[in-house]
C-alpha cells in the first residue's frame, strides 16, 4: 500500500544535504512554515533558496537567512532593509533576481522537461546583460533555463496517502509548480483525507509529484 | 497657476473612467491598486492578481478576513462571484500570453518611445524589486502608467525623451495618466489626450522633458 | 454585464476567415463535434487544422477533411488508410507530424507567451532533419515554436456567463490549453450554470481564455 | 527446440512481475497495454495515460461504461480510487519531466546502445503514427520494451547492433522483454537477465543480430 505520510517533520526532512537547491512557495500565504522551521533545525547549509520574495525583517525566510545557511537566494524581489538585502549588501549572500513570471515559468519548465525557453520578459533590461538573446517574430527574447530543485517544501490544505493535494484560495501560488520541479517533494498538510475524498477532477497537485507528507494540524 | 493637480486617488479614478465593461485588468502596486475602487459595481471588470487570483474583489470587512486570500500586494481581498484560482505559472501565462486587456503600472519614468522604468533607480540599486512588472509590461495587450507628472523634490519631469533609470521594458507603454494630464504614446511621441482644468499647453510642456503633441 | 453566450452555432462561428489556423481538441472524447459540423457549414476554407490525430475513416475530422477545406493538418498521428492519410498520399493535404507531448507543449507555449523552447523529444529522429538543435546538459534538443490558433473550438461540460468551464474526466485533454492559445475561443457546453456555481478552486478553464459560448444540450 | 516462447499475454505478465508497488507507470499500445492486467490489485501501481489520466484502472463492466473516460488507446477504462485528471500539457509534463518511474513501449527494433525504433518502417512510411512515443521514450526514468524477439515472417531479429528503421529516440532503452528472453541494455551491450526454459544461450544468440552478454 502506498503511504507517503511520515510521522514528523524530522522524518519529512531527513537526508536533505548541504548545497541543496530548496524550492519554497509562498506569496503572503501558502508558505510551508513548519517545514521551514524544520529545515533550520535540520541543519543543512550552503543552500540555494528559490522563493518569490526575499521577505521582510522578520518571519520564516528571514529566520532561515539569519541562520547563515543560505549561500544564494533566487527570487523576484528583495527589500534593501530586509535581512536578505542587508546580507547581500554585506557580500554575505549571492543574489539572482528573476522576474516573477520568468521565475514561475523556469520552475514549471524544470517540472515539465523543457530544457530552455525564450521569453521577451527582461530582454532590453540590465537583467539581460551578458545573456543570450534572440529576436523571434520581431521581439527581442532572453534564453532562460529551468530551475531544478533538490527539495521542494510544499504547503497543502488537504492530502491523501498517494500525496494528492488541494490548496486553499491564493495559497496555491507556487505550490503545484514547485512540487513538480524537485527530486524530493515534501509536503506539510493541514488536513489528512482518505484516498478518493478529493474529487478526481479537482486535485490541485497530483500525488505523482509528491514524495513525503507530514500532517501539521494547525 | 489656476489648475489643481489630481491627488493619487484622483489619478486612479480618472483611469477607472476609461476602463470598459468586460476588460480583464491587472493593477500594479501604488496608485494603480486604487483603480478598482472607482469602477462601479455594475460595470463588470475582472481584476487579475499575479499570485493566481482571477476576479479579485474589494477588501473584506475586518471581521471577514480570509487569511488564504491576498492580492499581489499581499493585502487581504475578497473574490468576486465568478472568480477563480490558478497556480503561479498559469497566472503568469495569463499575463505573458497576451490575455490581459490592460495592465496599469506605476513608474519612475516613461519615454516617448514607450519605454518604462519602474523598478530600480540605478543599475546597482540595493533595492531589487522587479517582481512581476517586466512580465506584465511585455505581456498585456495595453500598458497604461499611473504616476505623478513630476518628481516631488526637484520637480523633474517623469515624461522623458529617454528613460534615465534602468528599464522595465522597451516600447510598451500605450498611455500615461499623471496628476495633470493624460498622454497617449503614439508613433511621433507623447500626444496629449486630456489635461486638468486650468492648465495651459505651455505649462504642461514646461513640466514635460519630452516634446508633446496635441491630438 | 459580461455575457459570452451566443444564441446558436452560426453566431458562435461568425467571422472565421479563410486561411485560419483552427485548434481542435479531442482524444476519444472531448471533441467539439457540433462546432466542427458548424465549421463545415460555415464554409471557411484553406484551413490549417491542429488536432491530436488525423482521425479514422468516418467521424467529424474525416468529414471536415473530406469537405476539402483543410490545406494543412498538424497532428501527432495519421493512419495510412484514413481520409487524412489518403489525401496526404494523393498530394492534396500538407502534413506536419508533431510528437504528442511537443504538440501539447507548443500549444501551451502559445497561450503562455513562451516564444520558443528546447526539448529532447524528437531530436536524433527524422523529424529533426534540417531543424535547429542544441545540446543542453548533455542532451540533444530540438528548438520548437508555439502554435498560435486563430480559432479554438472547445468542448465543455459546464459553462457560466464569464466563460468559466469544467470538463468531464479525460474529455479535458487539449481543451484548456487550446482555449489559451487562440485569438478567438469558441465553446460548446453541455450545461449552463450560474456565475459562481463552479467552485473557484475547481474551474478547469478560466473565462479569461474564452470569447463565445453556445449551449448544446445533448 | 524444446522451449516454448511466451505469447503476448505471457510477455505482459512477465513484465508485471518486475514492477514494484508504488511505481508510476505508462503503458504503450500493443503488448504493454496488457501489463496492468497482471499486477495484483493489492500491489498499488499507478498507471498514467497520456490523455490526462492518472490512476487508470481496468475496463468497466459493459453496462458501466463512462463515455468521458478513455485511455491513450481510446479504450474505455475506469479510474482507481485516488486517481485524477489533468490536461494534455500537464499530462505530458509528467511524461517529459521525468516523473514516470517506468514506461513500457512496443517496438520494431531495439539496438545495443539503447536506440528504439517503434513508429515507422521507413522514412517515407505513409503511416505517420508517432503519437506520444518520442515524449515517453525521452522522459521516463526507465524505458522498457515489450516485443517479439524476431519478426513473424522472415524471423529477422529485432535485437540489433543498430536500428534499421527510423528512430523514436536514441540511447534510452534500459530493458527488453521478448517472447524468449529478458535483456538489459548495459554499457557493453545486451546483457541477458532471463530466458524461457529450455532455450540455450546459443539458440538465443542465433536469434539475435546483436552480440549478447551473460550477467
CA atoms within 13 A on the CB side of D163: 27
Q: Residue A177: which of A121, A130, A117, A110 has the closest Cα?
A: A110
**DSSP code string of C138-157:** TEEEEEE----EEEEEEEEE
Q: Chain C 64-123, CB below 8 Å of chain A: which residues?
A: 105, 109, 112-120
d(CA C155, CA C176): 9
- The confidence band for A202, taking pLDDT boundaries of 50, 70 and 90, is very high
**Please, what is the average pLDDT of chain C?**
96
Q: Residue B143: which of B5, B62, B32, B3 has the closest Cα?
A: B32
Q: What is the pLDDT of residue C60?
A: 85
* Chain-chain contact of B99 with C207 (C-beta, under 8 angstroms): no
* Cβ pairs A/B, distance under 8 A: 133
Cell readout for D56 is 487508470
d(CA D55, CA B125): 51
Residue of A77, A140, A170, A178 to mutate for B, most B C-beta atoms under 10 A:
A170
**Closest Cβ opposite residue C113 in set B21, B42, B98:** B98
Cα dihedral A187/A190/A196/A198 (nearest 10) = -100
Packing angle, helices C100-112 and B88-96, rounded to 10: 60
Buried-exposed string A127-146: b where 16+ CB fall within 10 A, e elsewhere: bbeeeeeeeeeeebbbbbeb
- For the cut 60, the answer to whether the pLDDT of residue B1 exceeds it is no
DSSP classification of residue B63: G
Show residues of chain D in contact with C85, CB under 8 Å: 126-128
Domain of B182 in residue numbering reads as 8-214
Architecture of domain A9-215: 3-Layer(aba) Sandwich (3.40)
Q: What is the pLDDT of residue B139?
A: 98
Show residues of chain D in contact with A196, CB under 8 Å: 81-82
- The ipTM estimated for the assembled molecules is 0.97
d(CA B110, CA B161): 8
Q: Does B86 touch chain C (CB under 8 A)?
A: yes
How far does B197 lie from chain C, in Å, by closest CA? 33
Show residues of chain A in contact with B138, CB under 8 Å: 120-121, 139
Question: Whole-model pTM?
Answer: 0.98
Packing angle, helices D88-96 and A100-112, rounded to 10: 60
* Chain-chain contact of C173 with D126 (C-beta, under 8 angstroms): no
Q: Does D96 touch chain A (CB under 8 A)?
A: yes
Q: Is B213 helix (H, G, I), strand (E, B) or coil?
A: strand
Subunits touching D (CB < 8 Å, at least 3 pairs)? A, C
- For the cut 90, the answer to whether the pLDDT of residue D126 exceeds it is no
Query: D134-173, pLDDT tens digit by residue?
Result: 999 999 999 999 999 999 989 999 999 999 999 999 999 9
Subunits touching A (CB < 8 Å, at least 3 pairs)? B, C, D
Q: Does D84 touch chain A (CB under 8 A)?
A: yes
**Please, what is the average pLDDT of chain D?**
96
Active-site residues of B, by number, are: 50
Query: B21-32, pLDDT tens digit by residue?
Result: 999 999 999 999
Contacts of A1 (CB under 8 A, 6+ apart): A161, D21, D42, D44
Q: Are strands A94-97 and B143-146 parallel, antiparallel or unpaired?
A: unpaired
In sequence order, the β-bridge partners of residue A74 are A50, A96
d(CA B112, CA B108): 14
Q: What is the pLDDT of residue D1?
A: 58
Residue B2 belongs to a domain: no
* Chain-chain contact of C206 with B86 (C-beta, under 8 angstroms): yes
Q: Are strands B212-214 and A70-75 parallel, antiparallel or unpaired?
A: unpaired
Q: Where are the domains of chain A?
A: 9-215
Residue % of chain D over a pLDDT of 90: 93
Q: Does D65 touch chain C (CB under 8 A)?
A: no
- The confidence band for B11, taking pLDDT boundaries of 50, 70 and 90, is very high
Residue D67 belongs to a domain: yes
- For the cut 90, the answer to whether the pLDDT of residue A26 exceeds it is yes
d(CA D45, CA D37): 11
Query: B180-209, pLDDT tens digit by residue?
Result: 999 999 999 999 999 999 999 999 999 999
* Chain-chain contact of C208 with B97 (C-beta, under 8 angstroms): no
- Asked if D183 and D190 touch (Cβ cutoff 8 Å), the reply is yes
How far does A211 lie from chain B, in Å, by closest CA? 20
If phi > 0 it is left, if psi is from -120 to 50 it is alpha, else beta; for residue C76 that is: alpha
Query: A78-122, pLDDT tens digit by residue?
Result: 998 899 999 999 999 999 999 999 999 999 999 999 999 999 999
How far does A8 lie from chain D, in Å, by closest CA? 21
Subunits touching C (CB < 8 Å, at least 3 pairs)? A, B, D
Query: D79-97, pLDDT tens digit by residue?
Result: 999 999 999 999 999 999 9
Q: Is A79 helix (H, G, I), strand (E, B) or coil?
A: coil
How far does C181 lie from chain B, in Å, by closest CA? 8
Residue D110 burial (C-beta neighbours within 10 Å; 0-12, 13-18, 19+): buried
* Chain-chain contact of B97 with C180 (C-beta, under 8 angstroms): yes
- Report the run of H or E that residue B90 belongs to, with start and end: helix B88-96
CA atoms within 13 A on the CB side of A88: 24
pLDDT per residue of chain C (218 residues) written in tens, 0 to 9:
999 999 999 999 999 999 999 999 999 999 999 999 999 999 999 999 999 998 877 888 899 999 999 999 999 999 988 999 999 999 999 999 999 999 999 999 999 999 999 999 999 999 999 999 999 999 999 999 999 999 999 999 999 999 999 999 999 999 999 999 999 999 999 999 999 999 999 999 999 999 999 999 98
Show residues of chain A in contact with B53, CB under 8 Å: 169-170
Residue B3 belongs to a domain: no
- Asked if A121 and A99 touch (Cβ cutoff 8 Å), the reply is yes
DSSP classification of residue D59: P
The phi, psi pair for A5, rounded to 5°, reads: -70, 140
- Asked if D114 and D185 touch (Cβ cutoff 8 Å), the reply is yes
* Chain-chain contact of B21 with C2 (C-beta, under 8 angstroms): yes
In sequence order, the β-bridge partners of residue C33 are none
Cell readout for A67 is 541562520
- For the cut 90, the answer to whether the pLDDT of residue D131 exceeds it is yes
Show residues of chain A in contact with C139, CB under 8 Å: 115
- Asked if B84 and C201 touch (Cβ cutoff 8 Å), the reply is yes
DSSP classification of residue B33: G
* Chain-chain contact of C118 with A119 (C-beta, under 8 angstroms): no
**Domain harbouring B39, CATH code:** 3.40.1080.10
Residue % of chain D over a pLDDT of 70: 100
Q: What is the pLDDT of residue A171?
A: 98
d(CA D68, CA D77): 10
How far does C11 lie from chain A, in Å, by closest CA? 31
Residue D1 belongs to a domain: no
Q: What is the pLDDT of residue B2?
A: 85
Distances (CA, A) of D4 to C45, C119, C135, D153: 57, 43, 45, 18
Show residues of chain A in contact with C136, CB under 8 Å: 115-116, 145
In sequence order, the β-bridge partners of residue C94 are C72
Our CA angle for B125, A79, B144, nearest 5°, is 75
- For the cut 80, the answer to whether the pLDDT of residue A25 exceeds it is yes
How far does C60 lie from chain B, in Å, by closest CA? 30
Which position has the grid cell 516613461? Answer: B110
Find the mean pLDDT for residues B101-119. Answer: 97
Which position has the grid cell 460555415? Answer: C42
Residue of B57, B65, B75, B89 to mutate for A, most A C-beta atoms under 10 A:
B89
How far does A41 lie from chain B, in Å, by closest CA? 27
State the total domains in chain D. 1
- Asked if A55 and A65 touch (Cβ cutoff 8 Å), the reply is yes
* Chain-chain contact of D44 with A2 (C-beta, under 8 angstroms): yes
Residue of C105, C106, C112, C160 to mutate for B, most B C-beta atoms under 10 A:
C112
d(CA D93, CA A156): 21
Show residues of chain B in contact with A97, CB under 8 Å: 128, 130
Amino acid at each position: 500500500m502506498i503511504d507517503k505520510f511520515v510521522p514528523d517533520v524530522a522524518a519529512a526532512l531527513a537526508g536533505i544535504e548541504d548545497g541543496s537547491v530548496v524550492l519554497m512557495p509562498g506569496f503572503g500565504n501558502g508558505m510551508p512554515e513548519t517545514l521551514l522551521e524544520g529545515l533550520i533545525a535540520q541543519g543543512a547549509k550552503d543552500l540555494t533558496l528559490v522563493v518569490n520574495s526575499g521577505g521582510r525583517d522578520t518571519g520564516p525566510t528571514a529566520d532561515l537567512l539569519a541562520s547563515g545557511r543560505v549561500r544564494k537566494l533566487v527570487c523576484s524581489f528583495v527589500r534593501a532593509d530586509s535581512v536578505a538585502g542587508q546580507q547581500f549588501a554585506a557580500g554575505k549572500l549571492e543574489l539572482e533576481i528573476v522576474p516573477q513570471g520568468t521565475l514561475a515559468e523556469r520552475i514549471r519548465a524544470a517540472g515539465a522537461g523543457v530544457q530552455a525557453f525564450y521569453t521577451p520578459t527582461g530582454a532590453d533590461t540590465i537583467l539581460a546583460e551578458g545573456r543570450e538573446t534572440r529576436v523571434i517574430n520581431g521581439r527581442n527574447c532572453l534564453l532562460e533555463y529551468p530551475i531544478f530543485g533538490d527539495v521542494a517544501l510544499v504547503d497543502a490544505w488537504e492530502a491523501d496517502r498517494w500525496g494528492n493535494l488541494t490548496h486553499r484560495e491564493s495559497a496555491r501560488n507556487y505550490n503545484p509548480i514547485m512540487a513538480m520541479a524537485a527530486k524530493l517533494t515534501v509536503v506539510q498538510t493541514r488536513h489528512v483525507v482518505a484516498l478518493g475524498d478529493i474529487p478526481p477532477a479537482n486535485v490541485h497537485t497530483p500525488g505523482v509529484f509528491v514524495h513525503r507528507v507530514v500532517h501539521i494540524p494547525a | 497657476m489656476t489648475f489643481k493637480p489630481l491627488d493619487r486617488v484622483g489619478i486612479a479614478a480618472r483611469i477607472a473612467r476609461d476602463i470598459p465593461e468586460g476588460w480583464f485588468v491587472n493593477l500594479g502596486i501604488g496608485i494603480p491598486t486604487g483603480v478598482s475602487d472607482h469602477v462601479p459595481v455594475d460595470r463588470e471588470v475582472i481584476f487579475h492578481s499575479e499570485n493566481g487570483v482571477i476576479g479579485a474583489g474589494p477588501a473584506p470587512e475586518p471581521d471577514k478576513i480570509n487569511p488564504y486570500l491576498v492580492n499581489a500586494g499581499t493585502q487581504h481581498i475578497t473574490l468576486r462571484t465568478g472568480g477563480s484560482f490558478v497556480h503561479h505559472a498559469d497566472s503568469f501565462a495569463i499575463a505573458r500570453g497576451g490575455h490581459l486587456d490592460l495592465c496599469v503600472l506605476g513608474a519612475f519614468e516613461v519615454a516617448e518611445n514607450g519605454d518604462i522604468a519602474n523598478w530600480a533607480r540605478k543599475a546597482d540599486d540595493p533595492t531589487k524589486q522587479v517582481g512581476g512588472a517586466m512580465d506584465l509590461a511585455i505581456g498585456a495587450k495595453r500598458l497604461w502608467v499611473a504616476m505623478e507628472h513630476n518628481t516631488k523634490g526637484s520637480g523633474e519631469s517623469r515624461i522623458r525623451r529617454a528613460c534615465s533609470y534602468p528599464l522595465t521594458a522597451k516600447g510598451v507603454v500605450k498611455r500615461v495618466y499623471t496628476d495633470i494630464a493624460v498622454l497617449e504614446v503614439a508613433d511621433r511621441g507623447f500626444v496629449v489626450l486630456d489635461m486638468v482644468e486650468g492648465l495651459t499647453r505651455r505649462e504642461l510642456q514646461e513640466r514635460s522633458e519630452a516634446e508633446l503633441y496635441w491630438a
